Structure 1
Amino acid sequence: MALTKNDIVERISITGFNKKQSVDIVETLLMIMKDQLAEGNDVLISGFGKFCVKEKRARRGRNPATGSDLILRPRRVVTFKCSGKLRDAINGPES
């Protein structure tokens, strides 16, 4: 099951913020991250990971439904690289 924005708001409100303050905190954080990524800047959250904007060149693709070839336009995509701490938390201690 996925963690939703509403779940995050609920968990923040448990720490002592009211519901409206919690919503404002989450919305502000996401807005800051979106604005920075839209400007082409990376977002680094220590102990969690790094969101990076990558440039993709135009390339040849294929429509899987019809099999016809087409050219995919250049675009920017967001990638995520998790930190070593997050990777260790996910995978557990090494044996």
Structure 2
Amino acid sequence: MKHRKGIDLLRANNVGYTVGEGSRRSEPMSAYDTLDRLPEWYVIVGWCPRCRRFGQIARRDIRRVLGIRALLSRIAECLRCTRCKQRGSNSASLRKLPR
């Protein structure tokens, strides 16, 4: 499809990269392997199944405790709920920030 001023409106399939649809879609933690490879528009959200509390985890806290090369799969096992103090069965997921 061509724009009236000659601009091509169709994008080539091999240009750029694809980001998941939706501004707040959760991604599995296996989508990225380490904290330094995680794009800045993703946040890490922790969730406690016991008291159903969830909250955003600051990257600087993860870097301080686990280091910059921290595996994202290890984050969930290191979480502790601040409300009920439960450890172990908490989960973590990635969420994309809105534009």
TM-score for both structures, normalised by structure 1: 0.23
TM-score scaled by length of structure 2? 0.22
Larger RCO: 1 or 2 (CA < 8 Å, sep 6+): 2
